[in-house]
Amino acid sequence: MKKQDHAVHMQSWPMSAKRGWRWRGWLTAGLAVWPLTQAMSAETLESQWRDSQSREYQQPAAEELAQAEALFRRVFAGESGATLATDWAALGFRLDSIIARGRTFITLYEQPEQRRGRGFYAFAAPAAATPVLQAPHALSDQHTGVIAMRLFQAGPFAAGAWSTAPRRYEDDEDETVNADMARRPDSYFIAFSHAAAAQPGRVVVQLHGFAAEKRKTEAGRTAGAIVSAGQRQPTLAAEQTVQCLSGIFTEPVLLYPNQINELGALINPVGKTLRALGNAGFVHIELALPVREQLRNDAELRGRFGTCLAGARS
């Protein structure tokens, strides 16, 4: 495992501050300038995500989700600055920026006193029209959150979304709480996906993990990866992904439903959302644990994996 890269954690400070630094690297003309702190830290995207995790989930109201979608659209469009940060703060989020491996990223996470399991989000700067990564079970599908984080940091991806609350848990009244971002039709992941789909042809890749011993078929028990479009008819993006991944893994990479008839993600709300918007770029990838362990530990393999994901077109 490679040594973690140091990062510059940049927080907002008053415009009137003496010796205030201004960052102009990726802002387009006419956008507000975002002042930066002079403090240095070893914070990384991964540590920000870990620090933002919550023990419980609180369902956002419909009005809040509509506001979040509008704000996500502004971030995807390349906006930054104090006005946008203030608007996100009204929802309990902090808009931040960080430098890792010489690249600048915009991060979005809940304020410590307002953590409700609504997710962690990161965006490439400058804004890009490249694929988006999602890890909806980042805390429960072992290694998927870390894999997505390292892929995003190293690869040509426009943005990423990570869950920050347990997928399912018992509350204080012994009631089961569903915080599954790949099952809830009314989450920040859906608002994020709506905003991502504003870019025509955008591909959205979800990473998941499966247990081979729980599969119903021999094909499922021996597969290294199962790829679907979240529907019964494969799409170009899903087919391209299978073809590319088959060249980098020794384990079988199977396409749903042509080669396997399980883990097709047919009820995944993100896939449904994108299709309703006329987007055929949803790619759902289930990874067996041995493959996830390889991707976590092998940077060269992870790079080839990321190239396959980034190359998918709808």
pLDDT at residue 42 in the model: 52
Distance of CA 228 to the CA centre of its chain: 18
pLDDT at residue 168 in the model: 85
Question: pTM of the prediction?
Answer: 0.86
Residue 295 buriedness (CB in 10 A; 0-12 / 13-18 / 19+): buried
Phi-psi bin for 221: left (phi > 0), alpha (psi -120 to 50), beta? alpha
Residue 36: pLDDT above 70?
no
Quote the CA–CA distance of 199 and 77 in Å, as a whole number: 9
Count Cα neighbours of 262 within 13 Å in the Cβ-side half-sphere: 14
Place 206 in a pLDDT band, splitting at 50, 70 and 90. Answer: very high
Residue 22: pLDDT above 50?
no
Place 1 in a pLDDT band, splitting at 50, 70 and 90. Answer: very low
Q: For strands 159-162 and 132-135, give the pairing.
A: parallel
Residue 112 buriedness (CB in 10 A; 0-12 / 13-18 / 19+): exposed
Q: Which residue has the tokens 């994996």?
A: 305
pLDDT at residue 30 in the model: 31
Query: Which tokens sit at 232?
Result: 């019964």
Quote the CA–CA distance of 181 and 268 in Å, as a whole number: 9
DSSP state of 39: -
Dump the DSSP string for 167-234: SEEE-TTSPEEE--TTT-SSSHHHHHHHHHTTSTT--EEEEEEE-GGG-SSHHHHH-SEEEE-SSSS-
Quote the CA–CA distance of 27 and 12 in Å, as a whole number: 16
Quote the CA–CA distance of 314 and 280 in Å, as a whole number: 6
Q: 39-61 in b/e burial notation, b at 16+ Cβ within 10 A?
A: eeeebbbbbbbbebbbeebebbe
Distances in whole angstroms, Cα of residue 278 to Cα of each of 41, 66, 228: 43, 20, 17
Q: 200-231 in b/e burial notation, b at 16+ Cβ within 10 A?
A: eebbbbbbbbbeeeebeeeebeebbbbbbbbb
Quote the CA–CA distance of 267 and 279 in Å, as a whole number: 16
The alpha carbon dihedral of 13, 16, 20, 21 has a sign of positive
Question: Do 265 and 259 meet the contact criterion of CB atoms below 8 Å apart?
Answer: no
Question: Do 254 and 245 meet the contact criterion of CB atoms below 8 Å apart?
Answer: no
* Cα end-to-end span (Å), the chain: 33
Per-residue pLDDT of 131-190, as tens digits, reads: 999 999 999 999 999 999 999 999 899 999 999 999 988 777 777 888 999 999 999 999
Per-residue pLDDT of 69-108, as tens digits, reads: 999 999 999 998 999 999 999 999 999 999 988 899 999 9
Q: Which carries the bigger pLDDT value, residue 58 or residue 6?
A: 58
